[in-house]
Amino acid sequence: MPDASLDPVPESLTCAVCGDGVADTGYLPADEGDGVYHSHPDDAVCGTCGFNEVGMMGCAPELDEVTDAGTGDALLYVTRTDAGFEVASVKR
């Protein structure tokens, strides 16, 4: 379980690779501070592109693969909920 909350919680995300909306799961770079993740939604990647276009085929991407160097210090794996997205796991 993640050790920080996502604030603000995005209501929608668009994949920076394919341009489609993130329907169920995706990857979201973020900065962590004071127990809160501050996301970079412009660099979000959908689950499909994360595995097939960004990460090695069949592997989840790393932070430096989805964002420019120096942007974000954590890669969040997020899942859609009724209220937006919630953090399922974190890569640092």
Take residue 7 and report the two structure tokens written for it: 């604030």
Give ∠ CA 15-55-48 in degrees, rounded to 5. Answer: 45
Looking at per-residue confidence, does 27 or 71 come out higher?
A: 27
pLDDT score of 70 more than 70: no
Which pLDDT value is given to residue 13? 96
Tell me how many domains the chain contains. Answer: 1
Which pLDDT value is given to residue 2? 67
Looking at per-residue confidence, does 1 or 84 come out higher?
A: 84
Q: Residues 17-59: pLDDT tens digits?
A: 999 999 999 999 999 988 899 999 999 999 999 988 998 777 8
Cα 85 from chain centroid (whole Å): 10
On average, the pLDDT of the chain sits at: 90
Three-state helix/strand/coil letters over 60-81 = CCCHHHHCCCCCCCEEEEEEEE
* φ, ψ at 10 (rounded to 5°): -70, 140
Q: How far is the C-alpha of 27 from the C-alpha of 43, rounded, in Å?
A: 9
Q: Percentage of residues in the chain with pLDDT exceeding 90?
A: 63
- For 29, the domain range is 5-91
